[in-house]
């Protein structure tokens, strides 16, 4: 008899805290740079007839193995459903048997938010105090949660979204949750007057332009996670230090995928990976006037370290397991 923990979203939310996720994901990036992980490329199952896609994301890291099966349906908001829905299977690498099957949607939000926080820790100016959010969906919430952990002195957050109700709702919710001065703005230009800018849109054409961005700004480009997506103007990329989470994955489906395919930038224009910066193999920010960009595509190792964290806490709290095999 083999028992498996089945953990829904409510259980995962209770067990997962942003400060712990930041620590786990930072370690994952460090191990990646040190060559101590096994992470094949994402496998895409495109379903254009349904305006969505599925992705299989397997990985082994630090004694844990598993896979995330995740779909991305940008129009799900019209159905009052999550745009990103994921399930994670965590397995025992010694025998291949499953240890847990859990909601991966909340983990996806939290680990992606943590990646942005870690990137800002190494790439943003230490005195950063104003954050500009472009996009007000679920991912924008965990991005700000992580930034607040890393930069407790943040004093102002400006949020822009094409939908007025979305930016007003976001501002009200995050103001209450984080006790921050969060206010909606009606133009990207105003949101971009910030020390740290976070873009979390599904756009296939640039929304943040070079003229919007001041010297010394750090940008977390989160939204581009599939071929053809692009949130930042190519001219802005040319002026910045570009750090990616994974070179191959970012080249195929990250913020750099379109300008690379068009020949507007070259592979050698990419400074390096966040893991290399975290591990001390490459420097982070090197000047107050430098524009830095983190291109986040989301890595399976982030999911697995967070799933392991949830599983271990579930064991400690004696969450029931069920016979599966």
DSSP per-residue string spanning 84-109:
EEEEEEEE-TTT--EEEEEE-HHHHH
Helix and strand totals (H; E) in the chain: 11, 16
- Burial class of 127 by CB neighbour count within 10 A (0 to 12, 13 to 18, 19+): exposed
* CB contact set of 214 (below 8 Å; sequence gap of 6+): 192, 193
Residues ≥6 apart with Cβ < 8 Å to 91: 65, 66, 97, 98, 99
Q: Which of 68, 158, 229, 313 is catalytic?
A: 68
Q: Known catalytic residue: 308?
A: no
* Enzyme catalytic residues: 68
């Amino acid at each position: 008899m083999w028992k498996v923990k089945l953990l829904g979203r409510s259980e995962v939310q209770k067990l997962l805290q942003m400060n712990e996720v930041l620590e786990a994901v930072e370690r994952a990036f460090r191990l990646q740079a040190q060559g101590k992980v096994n992470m094949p490329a994402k496998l895409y199952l495109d379903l254009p007839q349904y305006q969505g896609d599925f992705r299989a994301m397997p990985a082994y890291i630090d004694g844990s193995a598993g896979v995330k099966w995740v779909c991305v349906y940008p129009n799900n908001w019209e159905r009052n459903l999550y745009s990103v829905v994921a399930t994670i299977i965590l397995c025992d690498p010694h025998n291949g048997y499953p240890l847990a099957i859990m909601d991966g949607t909340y983990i996806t939000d939290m680990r992606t938010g943590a990646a942005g926080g870690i990137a800002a820790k190494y790439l943003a100016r230490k005195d950063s105090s104003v954050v500009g959010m472009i996009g007000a969906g679920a991912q924008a919430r965990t991005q700000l949660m992580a930034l607040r952990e890393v930069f407790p002195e943040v004093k102002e957050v400006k949020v822009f979204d094409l939908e007025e109700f979305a930016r007003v709702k976001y501002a009200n919710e995050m103001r209450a949750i984080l006790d921050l001065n969060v206010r909606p703005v009606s133009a990207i230009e105003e949101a971009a007057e910030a020390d740290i800018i976070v873009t979390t849109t599904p756009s296939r054409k640039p929304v943040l332009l070079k003229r919007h961005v001041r010297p010394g700004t750090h940008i977390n480009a989160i939204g581009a996670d599939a071929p053809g997506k692009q949130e930042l103007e190519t001219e802005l990329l040319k002026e910045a230090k570009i750090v990616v989470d994974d070179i191959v994955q970012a080249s195929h489906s990250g913020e750099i995928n379109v300008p690379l395919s068009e020949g507007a930038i070259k592979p050698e224009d990419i400074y390096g990976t966040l893991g290399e910066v975290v591990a001390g193999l490459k420097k982070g920010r090197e000047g107050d006037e430098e524009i830095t960009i983190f291109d986040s595509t989301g890595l399976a190792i982030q999911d697995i370290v967070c799933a392991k964290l949830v599983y271990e806490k579930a064991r400690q709290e004696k969450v029931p397991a069920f016979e599966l095999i």
